[in-house]
Structure 1
Amino acid sequence: MSKPYHHGALRSALIDAGVDLARHGGPGRVVLREVARTAQVSHSAAYRHFTDREALLAEVACRARAELAAEMSLRLRNAREPRERLHAVGSAYIDFARGQPGLFRTAFGAHATPAEGTDSGAEPFAILGGVLDELHAVGLLSAERRPGAELAAWSAVHGLACLLLDGPLAADPNGAKFAIGRVHELIERGLLD
């Protein structure tokens, strides 16, 4: 159970409680009454900060994407070569999905966009775009292949992550390892010169 909130920080405490519930059960666990109970406040108090469940879920999804972005950034700090950096962001994405399935499902579920002015931190898609820009700058990604490269790479890695969580690869560790290697190889071969 979360710690009780401090005066003036109820909104943040509710989001923290929502993140905790999502971490352990995905977006289906993020319910305003349960979030309020976890934060040790009345459910009516939660409605003062969030008009409905979707508004809270959008904030929790934003926080989940920020955690993924932090993991991607951490991996990038340890990767020096441009190709290694592309592999690092893809590996971080897949590892996050496998290690934090509840947050991963929440991060990319069909939720409303957070309210304007919300500080969402770095977005995973923007981090991938920055790595692709680096590859273009050093001549490994041609100008012709650069437009839309984020969508191609992201789709491949996201699709694989979903297959690893909920598809036929979930119960096959050998198949998963092979698929991860192949997807990284295919992205590199498809995008880089």
Structure 2
Amino acid sequence: MTTTPYHHGNLRTALVEAAVETVRERGPEGLALREVARRVGVSHNAAYRHFADRDALVDAVAERAMVELVGAVHRRLDTVDEADPVARARRRLVAIGAGYVEFALAEPGLFRLLFTAYPDAPDAEGAGEDPYGMLNVALDELVDVGYLSPKDRPGAEVTCWSVVHGFAVLNVEGPLRGLEPSDRAAALTSLLLSVDRGLGASGTWPELAPRGAPK
């Protein structure tokens, strides 16, 4: 464990940094204002001047976690370079799923905290800068290029999210957490290709396998 030094005027930032490290080490259950204040080297009363309660601190850490999750997805999306619009749309959907799982495996504590901070289902019409919104945009693109039938679009975001999130949870804290990296990558590839085939009318497309599957 390390303390987080701070300079006058940025105590809130230091507290958030310490909270992030606490979640990484101990999971969401280990996050407490007193512990975070101790790590930074201030009184808990000083911490309460910036965060009214633990829930406020959880929200701040969740915001940081969401930024990192979105970044992981964008890094995957940046690898998509297909010129064909159908191939590009399909690849983008796969990239979003791969990026989501990659973040979950790299940051299990922050991944779990996100669903502590945001227990309610997101807006199904959302298209914002979050993985669920990005998923909705990707599915709309599949409709636009003619791969996904408009009649099959309603509810597709829930299906895709459930499949990928379930895979992530099984590998982070479930019975698949002991898989060898190569086996996990193969399982993820199979899962994402199954989702792709289920959405479209065409046959198999092995080249759609995610590049650099998470370890």
Q: Quick one: which amino acid aligns to residue 176 of structure 1?
A: R
In the aligned structure 2, how far is the partner of 1:74 from the partner of 1:55? 29
Aligned match of 1:155 in 141, 157, 162? 162
Alignment identity in percent? 46
Is 1:107 the counterpart of 2:107? The answer is no
Matches within 5 A, 1:1-12: 1-12=2-13
In the aligned structure 1, how far is the partner of 2:90 from the partner of 2:42? 49
Residue equivalent to 2:33: 32
- The offset of 1:15, in angstroms, is 1.4
In the aligned structure 1, how far is the partner of 2:52 from the partner of 2:118? 14
In the aligned structure 2, how far is the partner of 1:185 from the partner of 1:175? 15
Gap runs ≥5 in structure 1: 114-120
Between Structure 1 and Structure 2, whose CA radius of gyration is higher?
2
Residue equivalent to 2:66: 65
Aligned pair count? 186
- Contact 1:85–1:131 at 8 Å: present in 2 too? yes
In the aligned structure 2, how far is the partner of 1:178 from the partner of 1:28? 32
TM-score (ref. length: structure 1): 0.86
In the aligned structure 1, how far is the partner of 2:170 from the partner of 2:76? 23
In the aligned structure 2, how far is the partner of 1:94 from the partner of 1:112? 19
* Paired residue secondary structure (1:144): helix
In the aligned structure 2, how far is the partner of 1:111 from the partner of 1:135? 28
Which deviations, in whole Å up to 9, do the C-alpha atoms of 1:90-133 show, x marking residues without a partner? 111111111211111112225579xxxxxxx9322112222222
Is 1:182 the counterpart of 2:190? The answer is yes
Residue equivalent to 1:117: none
Gap runs ≥5 in structure 2: 82-87, 121-127, 202-215
Residue equivalent to 2:47: 46
Moved more, 159-168 or 177-186: 177-186
In the aligned structure 2, how far is the partner of 1:142 from the partner of 1:160? 25
In the aligned structure 2, how far is the partner of 1:151 from the partner of 1:41? 44
Is 1:135 the counterpart of 2:136? The answer is no
Runs of 4+ in 1 over 6 A off after TM superposition: none
- The offset of 1:68, in angstroms, is 0.6
- Contact 2:89–2:141 at 8 Å: present in 1 too? yes
* Paired residue secondary structure (1:108): helix
In the aligned structure 2, how far is the partner of 1:12 from the partner of 1:48? 13
Which deviations, in whole Å up to 9, do the C-alpha atoms of 1:138-183 show, x marking residues without a partner? 1222211222222111110000111111222112326534431232
- The offset of 1:8, in angstroms, is 2.6
Which deviations, in whole Å up to 9, do the C-alpha atoms of 1:45-67 show, x marking residues without a partner? 11111121122112212211210
- Contact 1:22–1:103 at 8 Å: present in 2 too? yes
TM-score (ref. length: structure 2): 0.78
* Paired residue secondary structure (2:129): coil
* Paired residue secondary structure (2:116): coil
Q: Label 1:42 to 1:112 Cα distance change in 2 as closer, same or farther (>3 A).
A: farther
